Structure 1
Amino acid sequence: MSATEQAPQAASPITQYHRTTNPYEAQFKYSRAVKKGPFIFVSGTTSLCPKTQTILHPTSAYLQAQTIFAEIASAIEALGGNPKTDVVRVRMYVTHDEDGGDVGKALKESGFGAGEDGKEGGPAATMILGVKFVDQDMKVEIEADAVVL
């Protein structure tokens, strides 16, 4: 290649955005999930009900986590992913130490990253306990990353 020739540039991956009716997404200008190339990144998700602006299941970390995993699954599916086969990482933030087991149980039940038959190893996961959220009824917030091949 001569000094004046340039190597061809790879096309920039298309960025896709998934937004919900959660008013904070518009207020703070962020998306529920973003897909760049094969990668999907899902924002921190809580059990906030967009219609009532209240936290669903304020007394149960387990039910909040189930609600959150369902919302995350919807976001991944909206961007062409499959939560059972494409989720590679999950980060869980939990207010009370004693709720960690319930949130972990909800992760296991979600089937994220465990394959279609549920027998694969599951995603890489981090759980941080003892966090404080902006709403006292929030017990759990969860983020997820997926790779769609």
Structure 2
Amino acid sequence: MSGEVRRISSGGPYEDAIGYSRAVALPNGLVLVSGCTGIEAGRLVAGGPYEQARAALATALDALARLGLTAADVVRTRMYVVHGGDTAEVGRAHADVFGEVRPAATLVLVAGLIDPEMSVEIEVEAYRAPEVGA
């Protein structure tokens, strides 16, 4: 990582409308990925909370990959779930994606998301120590 803040976009429908970056990489090696939902190709994925969580995590991991990081670099996640009955499926998707990485994680029930059809939104933080001399 260079000595400057890097911001990337995924082209998601809300990024321009709301004015945010999909991910921000800091010079200290920390990468913050904005909340990701189950939107693929501009549409909510078919299926339930498991499929939405997998799609959200795929968006987050794609953003990390564009910055040279992987799931192994993820140190923290935050999952915002609309329905309490969906927590097991969202948790299963999280476990399936991260396996032995086991980042620090928080799962919070919320009243709703920007689209009432969305079940989950997930934030990701990753870290990779800056290279010496970078």
1:78 aligns with 2:50: no
> What runs of 5+ residues in structure 1 fail to find an aligned partner?
1-11
Which residue of 1 is the match for residue 93 of structure 2? 106
Cα drift, residue 50 of structure 1 = 4.5
> TM (normalized to structure 2)?
0.87
> What runs of 5+ residues in structure 2 fail to find an aligned partner?
130-134
Give the share of equivalent positions with the same residue, in percent: 35
2-structure distance, mates of 1:130, 1:34: 25
1:90 aligns with 2:77: yes
Cα drift, residue 56 of structure 1 = 1.7
Cα drift, residue 30 of structure 1 = 0.8
Aligned length: 127
Spell out structure 1 runs of 4+ moving beyond 3 A: none
Cα drift, residue 131 of structure 1 = 2.8
Equivalent of 1:137 in 117, 125, 130: 117
Paired AA for residue 79 in structure 1: L
2-structure distance, mates of 1:101, 1:27: 32
Structure with the greater alpha carbon radius of gyration: 1
Which residue of 1 is the match for residue 39 of structure 2? 48
Residues 16-73 of structure 1 deviation map (CA, whole Å, 9 limit, x = unaligned): 111012132112221100101201000011112443xx3222x500000011111111
Which residue of 2 is the match for residue 61 of structure 1? 49
More helix per residue: 2
Residues 73-118 of structure 1 deviation map (CA, whole Å, 9 limit, x = unaligned): 10111111111x210000000011010011010011102xx5xxx3
2-structure distance, mates of 1:131, 1:125: 20
> TM (normalized to structure 1)?
0.79
Which residue of 1 is the match for residue 132 of structure 2? none
Paired AA for residue 33 in structure 1: A
Equivalent of 1:34 in 24, 31, 44: 24
The root-mean-square deviation of aligned C-alpha atoms, in Å, is 1.7
